[in-house]
Amino acid sequence: MNGISGQTNVLSSRFGRGAADGLGRDLGSFVVATMEVPWGLVKERLGADPTQVLMVENMQLETIERQLESVGEVDTVLGVGGGQAIDLAKYIAWKRQLPLVTLPTVLSVDAFVTPAAGIRRGHRVDYVGESSPNPLVIDYDVLRTAPPELNIAGVGDLLSIHTACFDWELAHMAGASEYPFSQRDVDAARQILSAVMRQAAAIREGTDEGLQAIVDGYMRVNTICLPAGHYRVEEGSEHYLFYELEERLQRPFIHGWIVGLGVHLLSRLQGNQHEEAVAFMEEVGLPHQPSDLEIRKEDLRASLLALNDYIRSRSDLWYTVLNQREITQAWVDDALRTLNF
């Protein structure tokens, strides 16, 4: 499958321009989980009508359970859209033990390659169930209907390899790694990121190769993380800044963009090829500035100054640079001067 060997969550793939055309004719009777905009973009392409269309209302468990109960006898569940629509489809396929087909219309999040569905219980996000797309349908023409900067957001969770692997190495050297350290996994993850970085121009332009580079990157990360049972190679201190900001500001962010801000700041704190990471974000066109994310300078300052204490207050977070290096007022002043507000 596109040269990807090893365990991925994707059982089969249908990749190419026009890959969604006529797809509905292969599904038997099917229910679609989607949202208004993506559904409007693809329904004419499918060549067959679903027996039922479920629009995402919200991801609260009660809502999803109610929608699940309304699903009649069908052969297949088709997810069409971004993360929430795909997650709703995954949840229904898992609960009803039905074949799952996913057709992402944007690459901003990696829901289309992960086995569990993100649902909300109150304010908490939980990842539940296990499902595998068969096939995963990647239609470059469909993806190009999304705003380009949202597809580019997909590189955020691949660029995070840059800071996350460094954090894991720090943890290992400090004798504080939560999991058996694997140099092989770290090297493999860095190769994934290098391959993505080589495609910066294509990703920026939204070419077939650029879109496929993001999909391949996600699938390759899974060949490391699914067998390992954790996402240490792609999640670290850059995500922890995002967690703090999300709790502080109580609003959602475009995930890949805020992870980009995290890579900017935490690669600087790590002393880890900060300029190279920032240059890549500029080259690929990943929005990550506070001005893009509508984060005010005083909020980011407060978040950074609170970050060491925040990670100490959360025993569920892994050991990172934030356990080793104190963020000082002077460091924050210097770092904020490198950002746009």
In this complex, which beta carbon is closest to Zn ion, that of residue 236 or of residue 290?
A: 236
Closest approach of Zn ion to the CB of residue 110, in Å: 8
Closest approach of Zn ion to the CB of residue 226, in Å: 16
Q: Which among 112, 60, 104, 53 is positioned nearest to 81, based on CA atoms?
A: 104
**Alpha-carbon separation of residue 21 from 35, 181, 216 (angstroms):** 19, 44, 22
How far apart CA 28 and CA 48 sit, in angstroms, is: 9
Residue 313 neighbours by CB under 8 Å, 6+ apart: none
Query: Contacting Zn ion (CB under 5 A), which of 31, 74, 146, 157?
Result: 157
From the list 54-62, 123-131, 156-164, 267-275, the region that binds Zn ion by CB under 5 A is: 156-164
Bridging pattern class, strands 124-128 and 30-34: unpaired
Q: Does 110 bind Zn ion (CB under 5 A)?
A: no
DSSP 98: -
Residue 289 neighbours by CB under 8 Å, 6+ apart: 261, 339, 340, 341
Q: Which residue is nearest to Zn ion (CB)?
A: 157
Q: How many residues bind Zn ion (CB under 5 A)?
A: 1
In this complex, which beta carbon is closest to Zn ion, that of residue 54 or of residue 165?
A: 165
From the list 152-160, 192-200, 213-221, 271-279, the region that binds Zn ion by CB under 5 A is: 152-160
In this complex, which beta carbon is closest to Zn ion, that of residue 256 or of residue 290?
A: 256
Question: Rule CB under 5 A: which of 33-62 touch Zn ion?
Answer: none
Closest approach of Zn ion to the CB of residue 167, in Å: 14
| Dihedral-angle region of residue 3 (phi above 0 means left; psi in -120 to 50 means alpha; beta otherwise) | left
From the list 14-22, 96-104, 149-157, 225-233, the region that binds Zn ion by CB under 5 A is: 149-157
In this complex, which beta carbon is closest to Zn ion, that of residue 228 or of residue 305?
A: 228
CA atoms within 13 A on the CB side of 219: 23
Residues that bind Zn ion (CB under 5 A): 157
